[in-house]
Structure 1
Amino acid sequence: MTQVVSRSDESAASQFMGVKELAVYLDVSTSWLYQYGTQLGLPRYKFGRGRTAKVRYRRSEVDRWVKSQRVE
């Protein structure tokens, strides 16, 4: 059975990135994200509780954060 995905579902899903996807996007390790990301102000979202919780990053906020890291 084929599942139909609407454009709104597709765009909502693409708004967020998982830790592995973000690590590739920023060219850093996942352990760096967990250790320093929050300390450096990288906004994250946590869906769920405990060990099964998923950490996600909103793409637009990541891009804004990256721009704020620019060094003159």
Structure 2
Amino acid sequence: MSVREVSEYLNVSTSWIYRNATHSGLVPYKFGVGANAKIRFKASEVEVWVKQQRAL
């Protein structure tokens, strides 16, 4: 999933994804180097992360 797709799925801004993804437990995969690098997320990992965030 792209950053935009993840932000839409989680209903947060793309800037939140860039700032907080790694700190909150989402694992980004970086393809390329520098400013042209693409960041992607595995859909299955995003879904697992969402389930772990469930309030009890």
Q: For the superposition of Structure 1 and Structure 2, which TM-score range results when normalised by the shorter chain?
A: over 0.9
Instruction: Give the match for residue 28 of structure 1.
Output: 12
TM-score, normalising length: structure 1: 0.74
> Normalized per residue, which structure has more helix?
2
C-alpha separation between the residues in 2 aligned to 1:58 and 1:42?
9
Structure 2: unaligned runs, 5 residues or longer:
none
**Superposition RMSD on alpha carbons, in Å?**
0.6
Instruction: Give the match for residue 8 of structure 1.
Output: none
> Normalized per residue, which structure has more strand?
1
- Deviation, structure 1 residue 36: 1.1
**Segments ≥4 residues shifted beyond 6 Å:** none
1:57 matched to 2:41? The reply is yes
Structure 1: unaligned runs, 5 residues or longer:
1-16
- Deviation, structure 1 residue 24: 0.6
TM-score, normalising length: structure 2: 0.94
- Deviation, structure 1 residue 31: 0.5
- Deviation, structure 1 residue 37: 1.3
Which residue identity is paired with 2:5?
E
1:66 matched to 2:50? The reply is yes
Greater radius of gyration (CA) = 1
